[in-house]
Amino acid sequence: MSSRTLTKAGIVDYIYEKTNKNRAEIKELVETTLDIMKEAIKKDHALLVSGFGKFEAYDKRARKGRNPQTNQTITLPPRKVVVFRLSRKFRAELNPLE
């Protein structure tokens, strides 16, 4: 199994090989799709892709941390984080014996 990560350019190349569209059109389509996904997560705090999984954004409160170089205690500011949860169907495909 390859440890190579699929990139945005790799997705464009893959679609290019499977269709008769030009690379610029495909790149624009991929960019637009990703923009729609990002906006959905920002606006609705969730994005569900049926059969794939769900992206969810939530607020993380401020918390205490430590600077590893100085050992000084610091307060980390609140921030948003995004988590991804696999769909049951996709999880079953990844782990067929479970």
Domain architecture of the chain: domains with CATH? 1-43 (no CATH), 45-98 (4.10.520.10)
Q: Cα–Cα distance between 12 and 38 in angstroms, integer?
A: 18
The model's pLDDT over 11-37, given as tens digits with 9 standing for 90+, comes to 999 999 999 899 999 999 999 999 999
pLDDT of residue 2: 54
The model's pLDDT over 72-81, given as tens digits with 9 standing for 90+, comes to 999 999 999 9
Q: Cα–Cα distance between 67 and 79 in angstroms, integer?
A: 18
Q: Which of 53, 58, 48 is nearest to 79 (CA)?
A: 58
